Amino acid sequence: MPRQFGTIAFTPAVKAMQEKMGSRENYERFVAKGADNNSITPDLEEFISSMEGFYLGTVTSNGYPYIQFRGGKAGFLKILDERTLGFADFRGNVQYISVGNLSENDKAFLFLMDYRNRRRLKIIGRARIVENDPILLAQLQDKDYAATVERAIVFEIEGWDWNCPQHIPVRYSQAEVEVMQARIHELEQLLAAAKNA
């Protein structure tokens, strides 16, 4: 358990619940002795670069959490430096709830889920909207992904934590299923040829 993530996430109410349920002592030890986990490691870089999507959490002005999926080509969530991520914000359903929330409150959360390998990463930080920086927008845009970029969102990491794989169902992307189907078809043809030989 990383120190910075726990410092932010373990509010007095969370600590009280941990105490009630018997896990407080264990988490207190992790926070006291754990790594900071507020910068990008090689393992994190590899994981982030492989993701085709993630969930962005923001907070409404009336205190409600709001979660929005962001997707693109693998690697569209880009690493700008050891503590900063960024992504091109594509035109979507034009509700602008996430960016509206960020215009008032920069506290944000990224949740990256790899169903195939049953891994999930939680990142707490602060996000800002960038609209008039052509250099940054060009850096974040994938030239061969046909989507209208309206702005960039830059995310400063304050803490991250891997979640346990328990209860994560194994799922595959459409591209992975297509590769498997092509391989199955190839093997079926080889089998049929062997039977006819």
**Residue-range domains of the chain with CATH:** 38-171 (2.30.110.10)
Distance CA 130, CA 133 (A): 7
List 127's β-bridge partners, or say none: 155
**Of residues 29 and 21, which shows the higher confidence score?**
21
- Most confident among 45-59, 91-105, 172-186 (mean pLDDT): 45-59
8 A C-beta contact, residue 34 and residue 160: no
Determine phi and psi for 49, rounding to 5 degrees.
-65, -20
Could you tell me the pLDDT band of residue 111, with boundaries at 50, 70 and 90? very high
User: What does pTM read for this prediction?
Assistant: 0.83
User: Residue 44: CA atoms inside 13 Å, Cβ hemisphere, count?
Assistant: 22
* Tokens 């358990």 found at: 1
Q: Where are the beta strands (DSSP E) in the chain?
A: 53-59, 65-71, 78-81, 84-90, 107-114, 119-130, 149-163
List 141's β-bridge partners, or say none: none
